[in-house]
Chain A
Amino acid sequence: MMTLTVIAIVLLVLLASTIYVVARGHAKRLTSSGPSAMTRAFEEIVSREPADPGESAVEVLPAADMRRGVGRARSAFRKLFSTMLSGSAVNQRLWDDLEETLLLSDLGMELTSWVIDGAKKQVEAANSVDGTTLAEAVRQQLRSLFVDSDRDLEFSDIAPTVWLIVGVNGVGKTTSIGKLAAMAGADGKRVVLAAADTFRAAAADQLQMWAERTGADIVRSVPGADPSSVVYDSIQRAAARGYDLVIADTAGRLHTKSNLMDELRKLRRTAEREPAHLTEVLLVLDATTGQNGLIQAREFAKAAGITGLVLTKLDGSAKGGIALAAERELGVPIKLVGVGEKVTDLILFSPDEFLDALLEVEDEE
């Protein structure tokens, strides 16, 4: 059969040529002057009657503590650190173990080498072959990866404050919003959730359940509606009813989809416009994520200008080292850590507590 080969050849050439034209065209931007009248298709905002945010249904339990959060992550480090601190001499084996432990926590090759080189220098400078010196050096190196920055969640002096929650698919955006709503509610803030994920099936229903759980109000629209209009309407409602905070849920999107990233830019612009005061754009990173997390952080920062990171699923066996790498590269702090699926499973992040929990040797168990 010659057709197969013929098809293959034609395809190869055609594709190459089509791409050639399109790629070049893209570089030069064929501009279309035709006005694309954007019609807001569905205007009807369906929303339940708001619960009185004053009577928050949620009883906020004491925050889950960092130690529980990094429960699993610690075991790997703890083993290593007990070896170091038990006075064993610093040898190649120990360096190899250290490298492996750091790599296994998804810190990445570059940062791992950086931590190890730094620790090596410190150990050499101290002219010591003692594991304790190494343990201290590693801790210092790790500590210096964190940016020196305020990790509190910002409120604007003038209401309503807007927080935009972004990230790739399935990382835990909606769940984190539920937890944030509870946290803010417990602080006496009046909250409305914007169901701006109009793309994923039943995303608004999911957010609505969190609204019900936390006593927050919610603004939602129909599937496929313009997400910006949902954010806009939420801000209007917040302004009209005197709410303090709008938390906007967005559809999960891969950072490689340029049209969706453009949509995010637009969302941000909407969230910035008067009377809104956008103070936080939080990027949610899943602790299981590997090196791709760094690219996610870069791209979302470019499109939406992120102000903080939320590291979720740290209650699993993944160590979440990628968030540290992202914090360091972007200079944007990890502000929150998700440690479960319950409404109270959200912790404010502190590097020192984190390192204490991670590296502490003794255990009450």
Chain B
Amino acid sequence: MFDNLADRFEEIFTRIRGKGRLSEAEVDSVLREIRVALIEADVNVGVVRSFVERVRESTVGEELRRSLSPAQHVIKAVNGELTRVLGGDHLKITYASRPPTVVLMAGLQGVGKTTAAAKLALWFRHQGRNPLLVGADLQRPAAVEQLRVLGVQAGVPVFSVDGDPVKTALSGTEEARRIGRDVVIVDTAGRLSIDQELMDEVRHISETISPNYTFLVVDAMIGQDAVNSAKVFNETLALDGIILTKLDGDARGGAALSVRHVVGKPISFVSTGEKLADFDLFYPDRMANRILGMGDVLTLIEQAERTLDKEVAEKGAKKLKGGKFDLEDFLEQMQQVKKMGPLKGVLSMLPGIPKEIRNADINEGELVKVEAIISSMTKAERANPDMIDGSRRIRIARGAGTTTNAVGTLLKQFKDMQKMMRSMGMGGPSPTKRSANRANGKKRKRR
């Protein structure tokens, strides 16, 4: 999400970054470009207007501070405004002192409420809770059936009774109390914000079960209408937060800005894929940084800590620093990296990755092939790829079920990669990393 917006801002900023001073006309034209970038990212026209106005005001106000160049003023103002609009801290759930904690899910049709409900249930399970899913979408054909299947996948029981959604929601919360579940997640039917009858119904559900948290589920691909429907849902239900879905697409996600702006409630969770685990808390400040091209290093580090084997990672680091990174290490590290999820997702969190690579169509299947080829090599071959001659190639290709050409290509690419890493300063210890080496008590030869 937001990648495209990030690229656009980067373009705009690059152009002005070098400038000593900006004329009023230049500021105007920059703001115009920012306006277009935001509108094309689906930020609501009205929201864009006030956004641009505020950036303009703060640029004028900041003019006196000499430590920043005019361009930096603009960048700083945009950053500040984005952070403000996206909203500061992430959601911290306060559980009801008398369980269950009741969560109500609402939204338009087709936004992904049912899936999000199941994902949220799994998330609560990972927090050590025992959720119950309640299917109160009695309108869409087979919606409850869908929830039941997802409930099995999430390892969470599902409750529903035919007939009246209000009654179902109420008996669901009673059922939770009875069987000792401490969180209840109520899935409701999709409804249009202009459908008075159905909005009354969901209000009635809310009044009946008094949820601790009410989330509006919003599709990341939504356009200008986001503000209208979000406003009505907020007036009807007093929302606590937003769950943004389908972030694994390439929508520019401006609706997130708009909705945050009009309902004044933060984005609490984001849903990023078809697997139930593709769901997490949303960290607003990190997202603002990401839009401004700094990468989401914090998220990346957290994810790394969760999934990586520290020893293997550290060994790889040492080898890299020593300039001794061979195919064996590469295989080992690749398997680690794979654990972090789809490469593309991880990649998008990295700062400073060239656009061509970031946008490359990455097929995860290629990884499997690379793995197969390296696995078919002997230890000696992995340590010293130069020894791989024609006949070894044939053997390796056969072992990996591929062609000698493919093996050759991989070897060539690995060489290129080593060169690239050397040019990135990983060929030998750099001044800043020397202390770490010394601490390890090892001396490494430069290559």
Listed in ascending order, the chain A residues whose CB lies under 8 Å from chain B are 2-4, 6-28, 30-34, 72, 100, 103-106, 108-109, 168-172, 200-203, 205-206, 208-210, 223, 254-259, 286-293, 295, 313, 315-319, 322, 341
Within 8 A of A (CB), among B242-280: 246, 248-252, 254-255
Q: Mark B84-119, 1 if CB is under 8 A from A, else 0.
A: 000000000000000000000000111110000000
CA distance A356 to B388 in the complex (A): 73
Sorted from nearest, which 8 A-B pairs have the closest CB atoms? A290-B223, A170-B110, A34-B401, A290-B42, A201-B149, A318-B225, A209-B141, A205-B142
* Residues of B in contact, count (CB < 8 Å): 92
Q: A292 to B225, Cβ gap below 8 A?
A: no
Contact A14 B333 (CB under 8 A): yes
Contact A6 B317 (CB under 8 A): yes
Which chain A residues lie closer than 8 Å to B401 at the CB level?
Answer: 32-34
Docked-complex contact B320 and A23, CB < 8 angstroms: no
Task: Name A290's contact: one of B255, B367, B403 (CB within 8 Å).
Answer: B255
Closest Cβ of chain B to A156, distance in Å, is: 29
Check if B110 sits within 8 Å of A202, measured CB to CB. Answer: no
| Choice from B142, B219, B405 contacting A202 with Cβ under 8 Å | B142
Q: Are the C-beta atoms of A288 and B403 separated by less than 8 Å?
A: no
Q: Is the CB of B229 within 8 A of A316?
A: yes
Choice from B143, B194, B254, B336 contacting A72 with Cβ under 8 Å:
B194
Residues of A within 8 A of B403 (CB): 31, 33
A292 CB to closest chain B CB, in angstroms? 4
The answer to whether the Cβ of B281 comes within 8 Å of any Cβ in the partner chain is: no
Given the known A-B contacts A7-B308, A170-B111, A258-B361, are A33 and B402 also in contact in the complex, defined by CB atoms under 8 Å? yes
Query: Is the Cβ of A104 less than 8 Å from the Cβ of B417?
Result: no
Of the candidates B139, B313, B350, the one having the most CB atoms from chain A within 10 angstroms of its own CB is B313
Q: Quick one: which of B392-415 are within 8 Å of A by CB?
A: 401-403, 405-406, 409-410, 413-414
Whether, in the assembled complex, B146 has its beta carbon less than 8 Å from a beta carbon of chain A, the answer is yes
By beta carbon, the residue of chain B nearest A318 is B225
15 A-B pairs within 8 Å (CB atoms) are namely A8-B300, A15-B350, A18-B367, A26-B366, A30-B366, A30-B370, A104-B224, A169-B246, A170-B112, A202-B142, A254-B248, A256-B250, A292-B252, A313-B109, A316-B193
Nearest A residue to B320 via CB reads A13
Q: Is the CB of A171 within 8 A of B139?
A: no
Shortest distance from the beta carbon of B296 to any chain A beta carbon, whole Å: 12
Given contacts A15-B350, A171-B110, 13 further A-B contacts (CB under 8 A): A7-B314, A15-B337, A18-B333, A19-B347, A25-B410, A31-B403, A210-B141, A256-B248, A286-B110, A290-B222, A290-B223, A316-B193, A319-B224
A25 and B366 in contact, given A7-B305, A292-B252 (Cβ under 8 angstroms)? yes
Is B360 part of the contact surface with A, judged by Cβ < 8 Å?
A: yes
Q: Assuming the A-B contacts A104-B45, A205-B142, A318-B225, are A3 and B314 also in contact, with contact meaning beta carbons closer than 8 angstroms in the complex?
A: yes
Q: B294 on the interface (CB 8 Å rule)?
A: no
Contact: B249 with A256, CB < 8 Å? yes
Contact residues in A for B333 (Cβ distance below 8 Å): 10, 14, 18
Q: Does B22 contact A (CB under 8 A)?
A: no
Q: Are B246 and A22 in contact, with the CB atoms below 8 A?
A: no
CA A347 to CA B150, docked complex, whole Å: 34
Give the contacts of B171-197 with A (CB-CB under 8 A). 192-194
Chain A interface, DSSP helix/strand/loop, else mixed? helix
CB–CB A290/B224 < 8 A: yes
Instruction: Give the contacts of B142-157 with A (CB-CB under 8 A).
Output: 142-143, 145-150, 153
Asked if B222 and A201 make an inter-chain contact with CB atoms under 8 angstroms apart, the answer reads no
Assess A317 versus B228: contact at CB under 8 Å? Given A10-B320, A23-B362, A292-B249.
yes
B444 an interface residue at 8 Å Cβ cutoff? no
Determine if B68 is an interface residue (Cβ-Cβ < 8 Å): no
- What is the minimal beta-carbon distance from B214 to any residue of chain A, in angstroms? 20
A205 to B347, CA, bound (A): 38
**Known pairs A20-B420, A21-B414, A32-B406; A106 contacts B223 (CB<8 A):** yes
Q: Closest CB of chain A to B315's CB: distance in Å? A: 9
Between A4, A10, A16, the greatest number of chain B beta carbons within 10 A of the residue's beta carbon is seen for A10
**What's the minimum C-beta distance from B360 to chain A, rounded to whole angstroms?**
4
In contact, B141 and A291 (Cβ under 8 angstroms)? no
Task: List the A residue with the shortest CB-CB distance to B314.
Answer: A6
A31 contacts B406, C-beta separation under 8 Å: yes
Residues of B within 8 Å of A169, CB to CB, are: 110, 112, 246
Q: Does B310 contact A (CB under 8 A)?
A: yes
Q: Which residues of chain A are within 8 angstroms of B229 by Cβ–Cβ distance?
A: 288, 316-317
| CB pair B221 A292 closer than 8 Å | yes
Chain A residues within 8 Å of B406, by CB: 30-32
Residues of A within 8 A of B109 (CB): 170, 172, 313, 341
Judged by a CB distance under 8 angstroms, whether B39 is at the interface is yes
Chain A residues with CB under 8 Å of B42's CB are 106, 290-292
B residues within 8 A CB of A315?
A: 192
Point out the residues of chain A lying under 8 angstroms from B225, CB to CB.
Answer: 106, 287-288, 316-319
Instruction: Say whether A22 contacts B223, CB under 8 Å.
Output: no
Q: Is the CB–CB distance between B363 and A26 below 8 Å?
A: yes
Against A, the Cβ 8 Å flags (1 = close, 0 = not) of B350-376 are 100100010011110011011000000
Q: Is the CB of A289 within 8 A of B112?
A: no
**Is B80 located at the chain interface by the 8 A CB criterion?**
no
Within the complex, the shortest CB–CB distance from A34 to chain B, in Å, comes to 3
- Tell whether, in the assembled complex, residue A291 and residue B223 are in contact, meaning their CB atoms are under 8 Å apart: yes
Chain B 404-447 interface residues, beta-carbon cutoff 8 Å to A:
405-406, 409-410, 413-414, 416-417, 420-421, 424, 426, 436, 439
CB distance from B401 to the nearest CB of A (A): 3
Residues of chain B contacted by A203 (CB below 8 angstroms): 142, 146
Contact between A14 and B337, CB atoms less than 8 A apart: yes
A26 touches B361 (CB 8 A): yes
Partner of A18, one of B226, B337, B361: B337
With a CB–CB cut-off of 8 A, which chain A residues contact B417?
A: 17, 20-21
Pair B402/A290 contact, Cβ less than 8 Å: no
Q: Contacts A8-B301, A12-B350 given; indicate if A21 touches B370 (C-beta within 8 A).
A: yes
Residue of B110, B140, B416 with most partner-chain A CB within 10 A:
B110
Question: Nearest chain B CB to A206's CB is how many angstroms away?
Answer: 4
Q: Please name all residues of chain A whose beta carbon is closer than 8 Å to the beta carbon of B304 when the two chains form the complex.
A: 7-8, 11
Closest chain-B Cβ to A62's Cβ sits at a distance in Å of 22
Closest Cβ of chain B to A25, distance in Å, is 5
